[in-house]
Structure 1
Amino acid sequence: MEVNCHKHEPGLIKLKCSVQNYDWGRIGYDSRVARLFENNCGGQIDDKKHYAEFWIGTHVSGPSFVDGFDDLSLKTWIMQNPKVLGDVVVHKWGVDLPFLLKVLSVGRSLSIQAHPDKELAGLLHKLQPNVYKDANHKPEMALALTEFEALCGFISSEELDDVLETVPEFKEVVGNAYTNQILTIDKQYGEVKKESALRSIFTKLMSVDREVISKTLSKLINRLTEENEKRHLTSKEELVLKLEKQYPNDVGVFAALLLNLVKLEPGDGLYIGANEPHAYLNGECIECMAASDNVVRAGLTPKYMDVKTLCSMLTYKQGLPEILKGVPLNQYVRRYTPPFEEFEVDQCVLDQGTSVVFPAVPGPSVFVVISGEGMMRASSCEDSVSEGDAVFAPAGTEVYVSTNSKLQLYRAGVNSKVLLSP
């Protein structure tokens, strides 16, 4: 595909993309990320290696490159051609893509983590640039490609009371003073008091000595293992056993009891704002976020943990997160719009012999083909696309997609509410 299909108007740009081999990724060809990466770059897949994330964007930790120009990154090309972003994006975010699109293949739990808001991200980047690689915030959204499990946000007050009353090991690890503080809070004290108590108990848990965690966790695992022979464990109890096998003696196993267990069906979406605790557990998804790689971790990980920062930054909001089902734009395209300015995502599923038009918008888009093959056309530009192909479409580009087989792709772009606001 040519970089310039017309002398004065850049057309569609095919991209060569980056892969991340984090330990929680699925192994070899069991990973959709590995298969996409192989199709995208022609690289050799190691059947013993973990393939976790496929990145499409300009972030320095995993940049995309213009196909046919090995040394020309998408970021550099955009800087040379700033008009491809459109005036609204350049004015608001400067000469760079404000979002990052990924595909994730999760084989085991990611760390319990949160992403800082812009103010905190700037401070952390200044203080620890080797750990916090940029100064941006990282609101994000996951769209399930398969059944997908995650921990997200704190459980309700009623569920918290239940944990404190029915999990003696949890009470033992944080101490009676903290658990009684929550259990004796009456409704008349309101949400602020509950939030303060939850903050206290979570902070206490995350700062308990590792030997105490190990000893008490062993009691919990032994009890659940015995009870598993007499009754059906709850899904949260089963998760505790699973997480302890993945991360032995880790405080994150206890922390999981305080977070909502969310199960997504293919097509469901979950968005996560700044300072919200979460951990992806299993499955494959499309993920889109503001262009950042900032993560504050405090459990279920061998990586650097910043417990003090995490405990101080969290919102401590309680209750289930909103599940997005998407809004149909036509019979083939469904749009997921989170409450964030930087991005929205369209899911497109075309049946054999069908076609669809993505209208021109005053901002850039990136596309990734998840399965199937077809054609993409913009202006005088046309080329075949298939599984693993990633494409950049400049602002103001109408994109026509067709297929003679079946095709599933996703488009990420700047939130339409920002682009189309007066």
Structure 2
Amino acid sequence: MESNGRKHETGLVKLKCSVQNYDWGRIGYDSRVARLFERNCGCQIDEKKHYAEFWMGTHVSGPSFIQGIDDLSLKSWIQQNPKVLGDVVVDKWGHDLPFLLKVLSVGRSLSIQAHPDKELAGFLHKLQPNVYKDANHKPEMALALTEFEALCGFISSEELDVVLETVPEIKEAVSNASADQNLTVDKHNGEVKEEGVLRSIFTQLMSVDREVISKALSQLINRLNRESETRQLTSKEQLVLKLEKQYPNDVGVLAALLLNHVKLEPGDGLYIAANEPHAYLIGECIECMAASDNVVRAGLTPKYIDVKTLCSMLTYKQGLPEVLKGTPINQYVRRYTPPFEEFEVDRCVLDQGASVVFPGLPGPSVFVIISGEGTMQTSSSEDRVSEGATLFAPAGAEVRVSTDSELQLYRAGVNSKVLLNSLT
């Protein structure tokens, strides 16, 4: 299909995509999301507005449309032309994209949150469809475009011991009996007991009265400010001071001390399974996930929180998450393959005058140009592309990308292991 909307199953389809203006997004042209959105749709940017997420896909909360045909959504077009998904995807997920691609511009911390697995997502959607918008799970992966910081997963049991010994405000906020349990855990009794202790501490912390949290935070902030005059605060302590300014009297500030503080360089990635606690703190990233918008929140947010659900759903795994470096496919492309069926992401950085071929796969892909300009070709189409361009590639389409300048793009597609295994 050519970029003007005429159908051709091996051609590229240019997309007009959606933006989300959440309060944590960067403001005006400081936001890469804003710049990509402006270039993608020709819309004028409000320099006082927050631009948080650029969405590329078929989800109802931020659908993409066929460029040049404003009233034809990508989802509707796919349903009219299901062959563009390939038989493997249609058989497994029906007539829709199983993944959602985003760019995020994070100006201040997102909420401490987790995404439900499929069973819980179905239950929550049925119970509160106005809050939990769909019945799908939402495993996700973030790839840093800039230096990027996040909270991800619970700290190790050894670090938890240290926190409880050195941050008396947490022990005061929860019952001393619960917190003291961890300090006397029999290390030979396995992970189950430690997990139970962590679950107890986290659940009690997240459930205490707001007045108790306010008092504990006041004591903690005052103590850290005093101590900063005589010693260098740790990066986690500095983070606590920063979060408290963003979200005063919020339990999430204390909860952050129980989570891993992860710092990524451009090209580094994280994948986040269902039921894992996390919060993005600052920076810009590519994010890909199963096609869902389900979020269970419990701190660092003015939005609806569901502490009981969050505390009951978490896995309570402890230790640092794996930082993904990607696997080189060729000299220009690295592939990030999470342990999820719905998606994978390729990062492509082309030097001036270089070209690369993305082989045809038995499933669809979505490409987004992050910077630079060049040409994208298939056997039946050729498009000039530049920053902000987003294109859908049907199943089977081999795509050649070339550039006279430097060019950076990302490709999201169904996990190729799933696609290829289904054919054997």
Mapped contact 2:10–2:380 kept (Cα < 8 A): no
Instruction: Give distance in 2, aligned partners of 1:316 and 1:36.
Output: 37
Mapped contact 2:373–2:403 kept (Cα < 8 A): yes
Matched, 1:46 2:46: yes
Instruction: Give distance in 2, aligned partners of 1:176 and 1:127.
Output: 35
Instruction: Give distance in 2, aligned partners of 1:311 and 1:285.
Output: 27
**Map of 1:180-219 to 2, 5 A cutoff?**
180-219=180-219
- In the other structure, the counterpart of 1:67 is 67
**Map of 1:9-408 to 2, 5 A cutoff?**
9-408=9-408
Deviation string 1:264-301 (CA, Å, 9 cap, x unpaired) is: 00000100000000000000000000000000000000
Instruction: Give distance in 1, aligned partners of 2:152 and 2:341.
Output: 21
Instruction: Give distance in 2, aligned partners of 1:10 and 1:60.
Output: 26
Q: Find the residue that maps to 1:133 and give its secondary structure.
A: coil
Mapped contact 1:5–1:381 kept (Cα < 8 A): no
Runs of 4+ in 1 over 4 A off after TM superposition: none
Instruction: Give distance in 2, aligned partners of 1:3 and 1:37.
Output: 20
5+ unaligned residues in a row in structure 1: which ranges?
Answer: none
The Cα of 1:10 is off from its aligned counterpart by 4.8
Matched, 1:410 2:410: yes
Instruction: Give distance in 1, aligned partners of 2:226 and 2:239.
Output: 15
- In the other structure, the counterpart of 1:4 is 6
Which amino acid is the alignment partner of residue 6 of structure 2? N
Equivalent pairs, count:
420
Mapped contact 1:343–1:414 kept (Cα < 8 A): yes
Q: Find the residue that maps to 1:335 and give its secondary structure.
A: strand
Instruction: Give distance in 2, aligned partners of 1:5 and 1:98.
Output: 22
Instruction: Give distance in 2, aligned partners of 1:72 and 1:27.
Output: 30
Q: Find the residue that maps to 1:323 and give its secondary structure.
A: coil
The Cα of 1:385 is off from its aligned counterpart by 0.3
Q: Find the residue that maps to 1:371 and give its secondary structure.
A: strand
Q: Find the residue that maps to 1:420 and give its secondary structure.
A: helix
Which amino acid is the alignment partner of residue 256 of structure 2? A
CA RMSD of aligned residues (A): 0.7
Which amino acid is the alignment partner of residue 274 of structure 1? A
Instruction: Give distance in 1, aligned partners of 2:300 and 2:380.
Output: 50
Which amino acid is the alignment partner of residue 5 of structure 2? V
Which amino acid is the alignment partner of residue 172 of structure 1? E
What is the aligned-residue identity percentage? 84
Mapped contact 1:3–1:10 kept (Cα < 8 A): no
When the two structures are superposed, what TM-score results if normalisation uses the length of structure 1?
Answer: 0.99
The Cα of 1:188 is off from its aligned counterpart by 2.2
Instruction: Give distance in 1, aligned partners of 2:254 and 2:214.
Output: 11
When the two structures are superposed, what TM-score results if normalisation uses the length of structure 2?
Answer: 0.98
Mapped contact 1:3–1:11 kept (Cα < 8 A): no
Instruction: Give distance in 2, aligned partners of 1:381 and 1:4.
Output: 11
Instruction: Give distance in 1, aligned partners of 2:174 and 2:162.
Output: 15
Instruction: Give distance in 1, aligned partners of 2:293 and 2:415.
Output: 20
The Cα of 1:5 is off from its aligned counterpart by 6.2
The Cα of 1:149 is off from its aligned counterpart by 0.2
